[in-house]
Each structure stands twice: as C-alpha cells, then as structure tokens.
Structure 1
Amino acid sequence: MERIKQSKLLYVVIVATLLLTSINSLNVYAEDETEGEACTHMEQVKYQHKAIKPHFNFYYQLLAEKYAPKHVKVLKDVITEREALFKKYRELVKSGKDVGDFYDEAWLKKHDEIQTQFLDAVEKRDDAALKKIVPQVIEHQKELNVLLKKRLKELK
C-alpha cells in the first residue's frame, strides 16, 4: 500500500513539475511581449522557422546523399524552386490577397502516410526502409512545388 502511495506521489510531482515548467515558459514569452519589444509572437515563430529551415534542408541533403544519391540534385532543385515559390506566395500574402491553401486533401493524406513511414524508418535506423522512403519524400516534395505553382497561377 505504501508503494502505491509513493508511486502516486511521484506521479503528482512529475505532473506538477511539467505543468510549472510549461507555465514558466509561457511567462517568459509573455514578459518578452510585454516589455515593449517590436517582435510579435508571429514574428518569433517566423524567425524560428527561418532559423530551423537550413537545418532541415541539410538533414534531408545528408539523407539523400546516403540513401538516395541519384536524388541529391533533384532535392537541391526542389529546395531552390520551393524558396522562389514561397517568396512569391509571401508577396501575395503581403499584398493582401486571400491565398488560401495550396495543397489538397489527397496531397495531405499521402504526406501523412509518407511521413509516418519516414519517421518509422528513421527511428529504427532501417537502412533498407530509408533507401526506399527517402526518394519518395523527395518526390512528394516535388509534387508540393507543382501544387504551389498551380495555386500561384490561379491567384495571378
């Protein structure tokens, strides 16, 4: 019985610690915003996304080099093209256009499936599965560029 009480107490302490940690991090963000800094929450998110993007691109490049060497150039082209397309997309957003989503349900469904397989292969460090899925990830990103181009044509 004493062990059960100790387990419950430990569980409560862990939950309380996690709760306090998350509240503390929210307070830090709130303090940053209330101190009159020009950086809004969305600007912070954009900065964090911009800062992490080179890491993701490099990660995908390394995976392509190891597991899909024939797709390295394709990946580089996809990334370059994506940057140019997103720039145009952001310009339309800035100009006040209602741009909506550029991907469809079919692409999202396939994306979920590929990402699930990709995550599983990465977690298991399964070389055979990675050799199969990395080219699919790259081709799927290529498809996203096609959808984005199509949407940009519709908006012009």
Structure 2
Amino acid sequence: MEECWANRIHQCLFCDPPPRPTNSPPLEHHKFEYKSLPSPSSSAGILCLTPTDLEYTLTSALTTLRFVPTLTLYTSNSLPPSSLQDPRFAALARRGVILDHRPLLHLEALDIPSSPSERIKLHFPSSPPAVHSFLLHKPRTTLSHHGAPLALQLGLKLTPGGRD
C-alpha cells in the first residue's frame, strides 16, 4: 500500500488532488489551482476500514462525487451492522454510490499509459479485483511519544481516531 500513497491514495482532495489529464482546464477551488483532477470517465473508491473512519468517509463521499461519476465505499467487512443503518448511507445510495463489504486483500499500483483512469487495483480473496483512478483514505492518527505528553499536559480529550 505504501507505493500507492501520494499519487493513487489521497487523504484530502483539496490538499492533495488526484491526477488529471494535462489537457484538462485548471479548477479553482479553496484558493488553489488544481491541474490534476480525474477525467470525467474515472471511478474512485473510499476506504472505510474502521468504525472511526465512518464520519470522514460519509463526508468525503459527497465531495468526491463532484469529481467522478462512479464512487464505491469499501468497508472490508469492518463496520458493525448497526452503523450501516446510518441514513447517510441511504442518501449516498440514492446518488449512485456503491457500498462494497468484501474483505480487502491488498492494493496494487497500476501504470498503464493507455488507460490513465486505471491507476490502482483492489484485490479481494474470492472475487474479481476492482480498478479505480484513485482512492481516498484517512488512516488512524497516532500520537508519537513526542506529541502525546503535550496532549496530556494540555488536558486534551482525544477521540479513538487520535483527534481532539
């Protein structure tokens, strides 16, 4: 998965936009000029691998739909059934978002010059792989031993995701 970061897996579409063909017009947003957004025929995926990823995933899905016509949320069968009752899942499904619970085996970086929208492949144990232009994922934040004492000294209350 490490070789996929920064050009195939993104944490934020506004800070780290995915690639876009060079002949595409620039996009002005959040005071940044993005020249590398996905092509209109692209698809994307969002990884939601723990219950603490849920809020980020649901919020990011709405943003991602502005850039790609096809979006899949991958849970790798990691969410409790009760969390899937969240009405926001139904709202995303009405917008065409696909919810995929298959266990994720591994990710593979693709470099296919003739197909720039196929940049990352998700492998599953007993079903065909999925290919996307990019993935979104916000991994769990872990405080280092250098930062943890400061958070404790300041009396910050941290969430399970490591944020205050």
Q: TM-score range by the shorter chain?
A: under 0.3
User: Larger Cα Rg: Structure 1 or Structure 2?
Assistant: 1
Higher helix share: 1
Higher strand share: 2
